[in-house]
Amino acid sequence: MNYKIITKYIKSSTFEIPDSKIYFNLANDINNYRINIDIKSEQLKNNLILVNTTLSLIPKVNFEKKIKSEVCFSSLVELDGDLADKSSLEEIILIKVPENIYPELRKIFIYFFEKSGFTGIKIDESVDFKKLNNLRKN
């Protein structure tokens, strides 16, 4: 099955630092957060699907106040082939489209931190979506 990303856009974004104490401690507390990637899709027409890939920061520990950072990036995807082939469809939605859009999504996510004065934010430049998909299945 073939696919083509017709368009992609920022569906939503959130970047909140609750107060100045959280801001000044963020450089030390950033290791208490982890990156989360969530992928959801919906069929719009017979050969058209919307893939929403969300990159967010999730606290590893329970903070009374925490930063909120999330970007949802939408991709409108046109499919060419047998939609009954669930394996190929899953590969396109959970691996190929996210691999294609991740560099741009990462850049947007980092932009919020950099514009808030945090230039040292480290987020992997690439993600092995195939590996993540295999982990999800097991």
Q: What is the CATH number of the domain that holds 50?
A: 3.10.420.10
Partner residues linked to 74 by β-bridges: 9, 52
Query: 59: which residues sit within 8 A by CB, 6+ positions away?
Result: 32, 33, 66
Closest Cα partner for 49 from 86, 87, 3, 81?
Answer: 3
Q: What is the pLDDT of residues 87-112, one digit of tens each?
A: 899 999 999 999 999 999 999 999 99
Give me the number of domains the chain comprises: 1
DSSP letter for 61, please. S
Q: What is the pLDDT of residues 23-53, one digit of tens each?
A: 888 878 888 889 999 999 999 988 999 999 9
> What domain range is 11 assigned to?
2-137
User: What is the rounded average pLDDT of the residues 7-31?
Assistant: 90
CA–CA distance, 17 with 65 (Å, rounded to integer) = 9
Q: Is residue 137 scored above 80 in pLDDT?
A: no
What strand order describes the sheet that includes 68-80? 2-16, 68-80, 48-59, 33-45
- Look at the chain and count its residues: 138
User: What is the rounded average pLDDT of the residues 108-129?
Assistant: 89
